Amino acid sequence: MLKKTAKILAILFFAMTFSLGQISPASALEAGDIVIQIKPADQEIELSPGKVVYGQVTVQNVGRLPFTFTVSTKPYQVLNENYDPDFNTENSYTKLHNWITFPQESFQLEPGASQDVSFKITVPENVPGGGQYAAIIVETRDSMSSDAGVRIISQLASLIYAHVEGEEHVGGVLMSHSLPNFLLSSPFTARATVKNDGNVDFRLTHTLKITDFFTNREVLSADSVDENGNFIAKATPMILPETQRSSAITWEGAPQLGVFKVTQTIAFLDQTYTYDQILILCPIWLAGAAVFFIFLIILWVILRLRKRKRGRPQVI
Amino acid sequence: MEKIIQKLLVLTGVFIGAAIAFTPLTTYADSATCRPAGVAADPDEVIDQNTTGYTQQEVTGSTNVCVYVDTVLSLDAANGGSTIVMYPDMVRTGQFNVQVRSAMPYTISLSAEEPELKEVETESYFIPARSEIVSGKVGWGIRKAGQTEGYTAVATVPQVFFDSTVNDNGTGTQLADESTWHHFEIGVSVTDRVPQGIYATDVTVTAAVKE
């Protein structure tokens, strides 16, 4: 009994003294206190060797408290087909971040205020033509709650897609595509994977057109939008040099049952691929019922044939 | 036997017929004749209000108003991480919240210059970042969006913890609801060998659009 009480007391003592980050509840930040905004979130810039180009991003304080922020640059690449950003890898396409300088790197911003941050890109002589990619990183450490075990540093990345004048190699290959023709339950998704063989980025235009098989009425097209005005059957992802990217378009709100004509169009550079397919949508329970129905018909026919055979007069 | 099958046939036929009749059929989407606000610029398009492509109804002669909206990205991650009171040999959890507003798909990446939770006063003791957080093992991790089991060890290199093209609805085209807060669960486990104290680290949350 004594041992048990001592153990409970020890745990309580441990819990009171061992914590992750408790200092003072007064310093706690709340949602909406430090909110940092940047525009544009990405931009394309044309560069020439030996020339200087000026650009800018605008940082806004859309929160309730003032904050200090700093600006810096990082290389920008992607890790995989899903295009997870990579702000660390340096290669021949990420030299741009070394060419960018800021006249001022630290700023104080009051609530509701905005700050234009200008930057200068000094392109060295004799750099090869093609794509160069970097991110302008805007960071504030004022978002760190001192009473938290995990203190958050807020960073926003404004991506720069730059094209250096010179010898550009433009090339792309359609690696794979998929367009289902029979679906029992899962949502209908059309996919395309395109590889960029060149040294400069390009955009893939991936669209779907779906029409009712029987009425020929258009259900979805490249211009179709959802209630927020976003395209639902069109994707235009950027493909960086020497990477491949998958694009998926899912038909949200597809009916459970129906027959449709689907046209998938994959276009990039001067290449256009069009695939037509008949799509049958049938819920699994209905497919099961149909199979059972067919099974019953076969059974019924067999029984009828047997009965007829038995009913025939026997010749002796 | 034959009669039973006949009855089953009729019943199944009626069931299939009724099911087809009651299954909701196709809905038709709206179309845009002008690029909607907030949608990324199509490089092949030239923004000009008076070009034919932006004329809504040529019969009536009315012109669609097209407004170009610049790509904007905002981040609210300040209310992160509350105190987690630890008990030995127990996995305890906390969370921090991040809100990103963007009209384009985006990712939220996490990294830490020092991934270990360090004892703040002496910096002599630490809780390592791990993906396996179980009682009896010392470690801490953060659960990625959509991760149902285990945690992910925060590294010095940013890793994607949320991808709006994957984690919102998996469509690859749909955008995040701008009012959505992303809750990242923190899991910590210590043993009675870990010295008492306050342990903390700085985690960098990086938001970026996905073109």
Half-sphere exposure of B28 (CA within 13 A, CB side): 8
Half-sphere exposure of B134 (CA within 13 A, CB side): 3
Spell out the long-range contacts of B165-168 with Cβ–Cβ below 8 A and sequence spacing 24 or more: B165/A82, B165/B105, B165/B210, B166/A82
Average pLDDT, chain A: 86
DSSP state of B156: S
- Helix ranges (H only) for chain A are 2-17, 96-99, 284-311
Cα–Cα distances (Å) from A33 to A69, A232, B30, B74, in that order, read 15, 34, 38, 13
Counting one residue from chain A and one from chain B, the pairs whose CB atoms sit within 8 A come to 325
Cβ-defined contact of A19 to B198 (cutoff 8 Å): yes
Closest CA relative to residue B67, chosen from B36, B99, B96, B94: B36
Query: Which fold is adopted by the domain B73-209?
Result: Immunoglobulin-like (2.60.40)
- Nearest-Cα residue of chain B relative to residue A63: B76
Cβ-defined contact of B109 to A85 (cutoff 8 Å): yes
Instruction: Provide, as residue numbers in chain B, all residues whose Cβ is less than 8 Å from the Cβ of A154.
Output: 75-78, 205
- The H or E element that residue A58 is part of is strand A52-61
Using DSSP bridges, classify how beta strands A77-78 and A67-75 pair: parallel, antiparallel or unpaired. Answer: unpaired
- Nearest-Cα residue of chain B relative to residue A252: B171
Q: Please tell me which of A66-80, A212-226, B4-18 the model is most confident about, judged by mean pLDDT.
A: A66-80
pLDDT band at A254 (very low <50, low <70, confident <90, very high): confident
Q: Find the radius of gyration of the CA atoms of chain A.
A: 31
pLDDT, tens only, B27-59: 666 665 554 444 444 444 444 434 333 334 344
**Nearest 5 degrees, angle CA A233-CA A239-CA A241?**
170
Cβ-defined contact of A230 to B79 (cutoff 8 Å): no
Residue A158 confidence (pLDDT): 96
Q: Which residue has the higher pLDDT, B60 or B197?
A: B197
Query: Which fold is adopted by the domain A32-164?
Result: Immunoglobulin-like (2.60.40)
Mean pLDDT of B163-189: 67
- Domain residues of chain B, as ranges? 2-54, 73-209
CA–CA distance, A285 with A289 (Å, rounded to integer): 6
State residue A246 phi and psi, 5-degree precision: -100, 140
Cβ-defined contact of A18 to B190 (cutoff 8 Å): yes
Closest CA relative to residue A77, chosen from A96, A100, A94: A94
Cβ-defined contact of A41 to B19 (cutoff 8 Å): no
> Does residue A12 surpass a pLDDT of 80?
no
Residue B177 has a CB neighbour count (10 Å cut-off) of: 11
Q: Which residues contact A243 (CB under 8 A, 6 or more apart)?
A: A78, A83, A195, A196
Asked if B203 contacts B110 with a C-beta cutoff of 8 angstroms, the reply is: yes
pLDDT, tens only, B104-116: 889 999 999 999 9
Share of chain A above pLDDT 70, in %: 89
- Which CATH entry fits the domain spanning A172-284: 3.40.50.300, 3.40.50.80, 2.60.40.10, 3.30.70.20? 2.60.40.10
CATH 2.60.40.10 residue ranges for chain A: 32-164, 172-284
E strand segments, B116-163: 117-119, 126-127, 139-142, 159-163
Two tokens, residue A248: 């998926």
pLDDT, tens only, A260-295: 999 999 999 999 999 999 998 888 888 888 888 899
Q: Which amino acid is at A257?
A: L
C-alpha dihedral sign at A266, A75, B208, A49:
negative
Cβ-defined contact of A85 to B208 (cutoff 8 Å): yes
Residue B176 confidence (pLDDT): 46
Instruction: Provide, as residue numbers in chain A, all residues whose Cβ is less than 8 Å from the Cβ of B38.
Output: 228-230
